[in-house]
């Protein structure tokens, strides 16, 4: 059997795409290797009716709802290869165990991978008292003494965003010169301390940050935000020939269509997204798939 659509990735984008296509009576298979980017967090926020839900509970509820639609199959396996050359009418997906699945369309919802700054102890606090998205976790850290850690050019933007939740801020570039004089002056005018020194280590207990140790001094902090380097979690888009911009974002239209016919993208495969916006992108990509299938059926 050739599936109408194969979805690679079982996060909110992939799950919502499966739901919408299931309700459209399309034959769908969703592949999920159970390695989500938000696995380190205990709560997900900003999704109305599900604010504060544990990520695994969110997935459990999603699976229960999708199971009501018999045309959707979910597999907890990893896809290792996607081919088009030998199968011009459809795609061939190879599972980790060697089994092959065929589909007319593919939605890539494989997400992003995070590379955290190389700081001693950082993994002990990430997802517990250090986060990357103030919209997702800023409320929980409101009015606390915080640190913003970024080795990237977005450090000024991230710091100004975090200031909305707490004005007791220290920003650390960890030895990188990624703030210009004008930006430093603007931050200091708001009472934000700027530290260009490298961080030696982060100290605390049970995932709760307490102290930040620099080269020649230390400060007390109760949490903060980090800007990790984000890369695509899979290379399927490159293997399939999908175009990307200078920042590596996959180019797509409003319904997730890429330049490759039959290949769609959604969620964190494009850019870091909130839970609710990732789900919305999955819905849009599913509508794109269904619309294009319908057009072919009436061609």
Q: What is the CA radius of gyration of the chain?
A: 21
Instruction: Judge whether residue 272 has pLDDT over 90.
Output: no
Contact 229, 152 (CB under 8 A): yes
CA quadruple 174, 176, 181, 183: dihedral positive or negative?
A: negative
35 band by pLDDT with thresholds 50, 70 and 90: confident
> Any long-range contacts for 190-195 (C-beta under 8 Å, 24+ apart)?
190/163, 191/167, 192/159, 192/163, 192/167, 193/169, 194/170, 195/170, 195/171
Average pLDDT over residues 195-219: 95
Residue with tokens 């920003």: 171
Strands 5-8 vs 2-3: parallel, antiparallel or unpaired: unpaired
Predicted pLDDT at 92: 94
Average pLDDT over residues 155-165: 96
88 band by pLDDT with thresholds 50, 70 and 90: low
**Cα-based distances in Å from 147 to 107, 115, 119, 195, 197:** 37, 18, 14, 10, 13
Q: Looking at per-residue confidence, does 88 or 277 come out higher?
A: 277
Domains and CATH numbers, the chain: 2-113+230-297 (3.50.50.60), 117-227 (3.50.50.60)
Predicted pLDDT at 113: 82
89 band by pLDDT with thresholds 50, 70 and 90: confident
Predicted pLDDT at 269: 62
Average pLDDT over residues 253-271: 88
Predicted pLDDT at 38: 61
Instruction: Judge whether residue 153 has pLDDT over 60.
Output: yes
Average pLDDT over residues 80-86: 84
């Amino acid at each position: 059997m050739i599936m109408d659509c194969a979805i690679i990735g079982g996060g909110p984008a992939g799950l919502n795409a499966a739901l919408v296509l299931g309700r459209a009576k399309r034959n769908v298979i969703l592949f999920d290797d159970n390695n989500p980017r938000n696995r380190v967090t205990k709560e997900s926020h900003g999704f109305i009716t599900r604010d504060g839900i544990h990520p695994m509970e969110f997935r459990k509820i999603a699976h229960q709802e999708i199971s009501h639609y018999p045309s959707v199959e979910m597999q907890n396996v990893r896809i290792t290869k996607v081919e088009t050359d030998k199968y011009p009418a459809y795609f061939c997906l190879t599972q980790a165990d060697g089994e092959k699945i065929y589909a007319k369309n593919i939605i890539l919802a494989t997400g992003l991978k995070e590379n955290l700054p190389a700081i001693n102890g950082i993994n002990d606090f990430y997802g517990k008292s250090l986060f990357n998205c103030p919209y997702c976790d800023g409320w929980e850290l409101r009015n606390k003494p915080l640190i913003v850690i970024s080795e990237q050019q977005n450090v000024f933007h991230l710091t100004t965003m975090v200031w909305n939740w707490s004005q007791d801020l220290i920003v650390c570039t960890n030895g990188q010169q990624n703030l210009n004089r004008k930006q430093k002056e603007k931050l200091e005018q708001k009472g934000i301390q700027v530290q260009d020194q490298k961080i030696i280590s982060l100290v605390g207990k049970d995932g709760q940050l307490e102290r930040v140790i620099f080269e020649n001094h230390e400060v007390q902090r109760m949490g903060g935000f980090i800007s990790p380097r984000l890369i695509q979690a899979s290379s399927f888009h490159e293997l399939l020939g999908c175009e990307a911009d200078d920042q590596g974002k996959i180019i797509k239209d409003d319904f997730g269509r890429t330049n490759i016919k039959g290949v769609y993208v959604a969620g964190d495969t494009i850019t870091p997204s909130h839970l609710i916006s990732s789900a919305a992108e999955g819905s849009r990509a599913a509508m794109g798939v269904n619309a294009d299938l319908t057009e072919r059926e009436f061609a």
